[in-house]
A and B are shown apart, each in its own frame.
Chain A
Amino acid sequence: MIPLALIQSTAETLMDKAAIEIPQDYLDGLQHAAKTEDGDLSSFVLKAMLDNYEAAKEDRRAMCGDTGVPRWFVKLGNEAQVEGGMVALETALRRATANATNGVPLRPNRVHPLWRTDHDNNVGIGAPEIEYGFEPEGAWIDLITVHKGGLFGSDYRMLFPSDGIQGIKRFYLDSLMAFGKRGLACQPAIIGIGLGGSKDICMTLGKRASTLRIVGSRNSDPRIAEMEDEFKELGNSIGMGAMGFVGKNMVIDCNIEVGYCHTGGLPMSVHAFCLSSRRAVARIHADGRVEYRTDPDWFTDYQRRETVDWEPQREAAE
């Protein structure tokens, strides 16, 4: 049984870490970009960002003043049990979000869409989002918080099978061009592409591809992994860099996730995470141990399963 108080305190620590500490995989990616960048202004911007990550850690202040819209992904091992049940868990995550907004501090970004009511704590109707995933074994829960920007850099389009790979490339480039100019997408970023699913799941896949996979990871389907390499290269060949200045680094990595869709369609979404790529993860074990990390490791074989039944023995034998 995982104690509720431990969930809330861990969640508060995660909110702090996500806002302040740049994940190592993204930092490595940006440092590599800074070495290869030869545009005067783009180079200056990347150097300033690297200084900014240091300042944030030294001062324990948020990397960016726009701390995005904090949200939660919760993954449970099949045997996990939470004190008070799932309603108590959701309350703990809402409390942690409100406390950390005041504590770090974060910007209270969340408002009612029509009345602009602001509770000054990033909590309200549907906020923070809490999404769930499950894994076949384990009595642990993974808490993952992502603080993604909320305004620019994402788009959706219903394509069709006849649009094919060249249509996919076109919409990808269109999204980078539209939001890359003036740096509205806060690039260079991890770009996530969602292909397939129903319309809402297509958006979800793209968002998760950008926020729940790390730089250097590759899809387990080798042909999709090849596309990821190709699309990263394509985005970096536009000639646009940080802030939309001339440069060669727009995409730190490109992650693609797929889901089965309607036979007549090919829905596609594109998402840009940002220069702060805020994510933090903790695994809480049944015995009370807490392990912090920055790789959500969301897209396991189980999450990408194609079969009716899950047959781990057969998978293991292959």
Chain B
Amino acid sequence: MSPREVRLSTTPTPEAIADLRLGDVVYLDGLMYTAREGVYMRALEEKANIPMELPSQSAANFHCSPAARINPDGSFDMGAVTATASFRFAKWLPEWMAKTGAKLIVGKGGMTSKDYKEYFVPNGAVYLSTVGYGTGALLGRGVENVEAVHWNDELGLAQAMWVLKCNRMGPFIVASDMNGDCLFERENAKIAQNVERVYEGTKPAVMKRYGESDDRTDEVI
């Protein structure tokens, strides 16, 4: 069975978000901005003014640094676009969502169901994962234009806030829903049933390391 395909605005209605199901494949239209640790620290810890109207211009936060360049004439060339792993940004996201009204967090690998239940669902937000990883060339094709690059001088190309005009940009996979359920945890639970059999006969290292867990259904993130 192929996953269901959905076109979604980067300023989605609550109804459109509520309609998303785990495993749906999403293509985005509208403006999306990149923000990762550099932008979060600058906006939330250093209290710099965010150089966009959020969420009216965009409610989609991409955990991404593109493979791109700024030309001498100030124009931009966007090559491939791929997300970075999102779990590292959990410490900033609740405040970021409250401040910017972000409804779509787009990145690699998702967050935990605890994150989803604690601050995604109350903010009416869901998580979209990139596919692969990563389908950088396909996503690059979905960028119709680079509208602006904010904070390049302060943060550098990789951490700057890129504003992308998306035209059927995708694919992305819906990794959380309005119940706060997590696609990856659902898959982990299925795989966990087989873990004991795969490990049969193997033995733990004779010399242990601090911090080890022997529960293979745990995640290390």
B99-144: which residues lie under 8 A (CB-CB) from chain A?
108-110, 129, 131-141
Query: Are the C-beta atoms of A102 and B69 separated by less than 8 Å?
Result: yes
A62→B79 CA distance, assembly (Å): 6
User: B207 touches which one: A41, A59, A158, A186 (CB < 8 A)?
Assistant: A158
Question: Which of chain A's residues have a CB closer than 8 A to the CB of B173?
Answer: 41, 243
Q: Are A170 and B132 in contact (CB under 8 A)?
A: no
**B47 at interface, CB cutoff 8 A:** no
Contacts of A82 in B (CB 8 A): none
Contact with A along B144-166 (1 / 0, CB 8 A): 00000000000011110000000
Query: Which residues between 161 and 189 of chain A lie within 8 Å of chain B, taking CB atoms?
Result: 162-164, 166-167, 169-171, 173-174, 177-178, 181-184, 186
Does chain A have a CB within 8 A of B171? yes
The verdict on B80 contacting chain A, using a C-beta distance below 8 Å, is yes
With A104-B67, A245-B187 as contacts: A48 and B132 at CB distance below 8 Å? yes
Q: Which of A249-282 contact B (CB under 8 A)?
A: 274-275
Which residues in B have their C-beta under 8 angstroms from that of A237?
A: 198
The answer to whether A63 and B66 touch across the interface, beta carbons within 8 angstroms, is: no
Smallest beta-carbon distance A266→chain B, Å: 10
Q: A107-B65, A107-B67, A178-B220 are in contact. Are A56 and B137 (CB under 8 A)?
A: yes
A84 within 8 A of B: no
Are A40 and B158 in contact, CB atoms less than 8 angstroms apart?
A: no
Query: Does the CB pair B157–A41 fall under 8 Å?
Result: no
From A56, A64, A159, A238, give the contact of B205 (CB < 8 A): A159
Contacts of A178 in B (CB 8 A): 220
What's the least CB distance linking A314 to chain B, in Å? 40
Contact segment of B11-19, B53-61, B189-197:
B189-197
- Per the bound structure, the CA–CA distance linking A243 and B175 in Å amounts to 11
With an 8 Å Cβ cutoff, the count of chain B residues facing the other chain is 61
For A55, the closest partner residue in chain B by CB is B137
> Given A41-B23, A52-B138, A108-B158, is A166 in contact with B201 using a C-beta cutoff of 8 Å?
yes
Contact of B80 among A51, A63, A174, A234 (CB under 8 A): A63
Whether B39 sits at the interface, judged by CB under 8 Å, is: no
Give bound CA distance, A242 to B133, whole Å.
8
Question: Could you tell me if B203 and A61 are in contact, using CB atoms closer than 8 angstroms?
Answer: no
Cα of A183 to Cα of B85 in the assembled complex, Å: 10
Query: Cβ of B202 < 8 Å from any Cβ of A?
Result: yes
Interface size of A as a range: 35 or more
B74 within 8 A of A: no
Q: Does A305 sit at the interface, judged by CB under 8 A? A: no
A111 to B219, CA, bound (A): 28
Shortest Cβ distance from A110 into chain B, in angstroms?
9
Which residues of chain A are within 8 angstroms of B158 by Cβ–Cβ distance? 107-109, 111, 118
**A302 at interface, CB cutoff 8 A:** no
Which B-chain residue is minimally distant from A119 (CB atoms)?
Answer: B156
With CB as the reference atom, state the residue of chain B lying closest to A182: B109
| A103 nearest CB neighbor, chain B only | B69
Cα–Cα distance between A152 and B134 once the two chains are bound (Å): 14
Residue among A151, A171, A173, A174 with max Cβ neighbours from chain B (10 Å): A174
Q: Measured between alpha carbons, how far is A234 from B65 in the docked complex, in Å?
A: 35
The closest CB in chain B to the CB of A67 belongs to B67
Q: B90 interface residue, CB < 8 Å from A?
A: no
Q: Would B216 and A177 count as touching, CB distance under 8 A?
A: yes
Most buried by A among B171, B188, B191, B219: B191
CA distance A44 to B2 in the complex (A): 7
A41 to chain B, nearest CB (A): 6
Residue B81 lies at the interface, judged by CB distance under 8 Å to chain A: yes
Q: Are B136 and A108 in contact (CB under 8 A)?
A: no
B204 within 8 A of A: yes
Query: B69 — nearest CB in chain A belongs to which residue?
Result: A105
Residue of A nearest to B199 (CB): A173
In the complex, A90→B146 CA distance in Å?
35
B80 touches A64 (CB 8 A): yes
User: Does A227 reach chain B (CB closer than 8 Å)?
Assistant: no
Q: List 16 A-B contacts (CB under 8 A).
A: A40-B2, A51-B135, A55-B140, A59-B137, A62-B67, A66-B136, A67-B80, A163-B206, A167-B203, A167-B205, A170-B205, A173-B202, A183-B109, A238-B198, A239-B191, A243-B129
Q: A49-B135, A65-B79 are in contact. List 10 more A-B contacts (CB 8 A).
A: A44-B171, A64-B67, A65-B83, A105-B67, A107-B158, A163-B205, A177-B195, A181-B221, A183-B108, A245-B187
